[in-house]
């Protein structure tokens, strides 16, 4: 067994890589708090809503993990970045998991790689979905979707919502651009216990990530 050369020690790392009976094994440490998705969308007596400071900590941790993947000597495009693949340890320290769809980024002479579209609908960048052209910044769109989920605790896709609102990205962008509208879609379980200006800054960041040419 040997440490992974691919992933960062902190926000995007499996602890060890090894081989056994010709199988390549990636072993992660136990993440006591489960996935971000479980905390945002789970319901029941055992699920407590995440307070604002923890949500912010998770968003920053996930961003750092993506930044590492995108700025390494050999860039990595995750292709499966979503709230269920952000795992949390006992201190809510975020780590990106599930690199089964990950691909190396384009070479220095290329802007993108062309590859069969894979990933979870709703998180997949529109340009990749339409053309099969995968850019390093394609994961930035996915990060923007996760930011919106962190603010609202609404799933990106939910067939239980009214027609026209089942795809979160189809209707929520105008609500992110005004602080008054943003308050109407913030997770009610926060009970208003969050700094409205900070939440608005996060919503503006999400809009930049969701733009046709994401700026992050």
CATH of the domain at 56: 1.10.510.10
What is the pLDDT confidence band of residue 156, given thresholds at 50, 70 and 90?
Answer: very high
Three-state SS sequence of the chain: CECCCCCCCCCCCCCEEEEECCEEEEECCCCCCEEHHHHHHCCCCCCCCCCHHHHHHHHHHHHHHHHHHHHCCCCEECCCCCHHHEEECCCCCEEECCCCCCEECCCCCCCCEECCCCCCCCCCCHHHHHHCEECCCHHHHHHHHHHHHHHHCCCCECCCCCCCCCEHHHHCHHHHCCHHHHHHHCCHHHCCCCCHHHHHHHHHHHHHHHCCCCCC
Position 23 in a domain: no
Q: Is the pLDDT assigned to residue 30 strictly greater than 70?
A: yes
| pLDDT given for residue 107 in this prediction | 65
pLDDT, average across residues 143-149: 97
Give 122's strand partners. Answer: none
Give the C-alpha separation, 112 to 105, whole Å: 7
**Residues near 123 by Cβ (< 8 Å), separated by ≥ 6?**
81, 82, 141, 142, 145, 146, 156
What is the pLDDT confidence band of residue 47, given thresholds at 50, 70 and 90?
Answer: confident
Position 132 in a domain: yes
pLDDT, average across residues 94-120: 75
- Structural domain boundaries enclosing 168: 31-210
Position 4 in a domain: no
| pLDDT given for residue 196 in this prediction | 96
Give the C-alpha separation, 31 to 35, whole Å: 8
Q: Is the pLDDT assigned to residue 12 strictly greater than 60?
A: no
Q: How many domains does the chain have?
A: 1
Among 14-18, 96-100, 161-165, top mean pLDDT goes to 161-165
The residue among 26 and 204 whose pLDDT is bigger is: 204
| pLDDT given for residue 69 in this prediction | 85
Q: Is the pLDDT assigned to residue 49 strictly greater than 80?
A: yes
Q: Is the pLDDT assigned to residue 4 strictly greater than 70?
A: no
Contact 105, 75 (CB under 8 A): yes
| Percent of the chain predicted with pLDDT > 90 | 49
């Amino acid at each position: 067994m040997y440490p992974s050369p691919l992933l960062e020690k902190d926000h995007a790392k499996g602890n060890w890589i090894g081989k056994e009976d010709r199988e390549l094994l990636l072993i992660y440490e136990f993440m006591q708090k489960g996935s971000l998705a479980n905390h945002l969308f789970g319901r029941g007596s055992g699920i407590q809503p995440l307070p604002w400071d923890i949500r912010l900590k998770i968003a920053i941790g996930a961003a750092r993990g993506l930044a590492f993947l995108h700025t390494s000597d050999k860039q990595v495009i995750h292709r499966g970045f979503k709230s269920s693949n952000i795992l949390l340890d006992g201190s809510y320290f975020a780590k990106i998991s599930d690199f089964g769809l990950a691909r190396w980024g384009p070479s220095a002479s290329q802007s993108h790689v062309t590859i069969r579209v894979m990933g979870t609908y709703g998180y997949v960048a529109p340009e990749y979905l339409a053309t099969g052209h995968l850019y390093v910044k394609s994961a930035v769109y996915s990060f923007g979707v996760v930011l919106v989920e962190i603010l609202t605790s609404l799933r990106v896709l939910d067939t239980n919502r009214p027609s026209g609102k089942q795809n979160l990205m189809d209707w929520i962008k105008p609500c992110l651009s005004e602080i008054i509208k943003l308050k109407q879609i913030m997770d009610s379980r926060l009970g208003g216990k969050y700094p409205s200006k900070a939440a608005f800054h996060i919503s503006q960041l999400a809009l930049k990530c969701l733009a046709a040419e994401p700026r992050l």
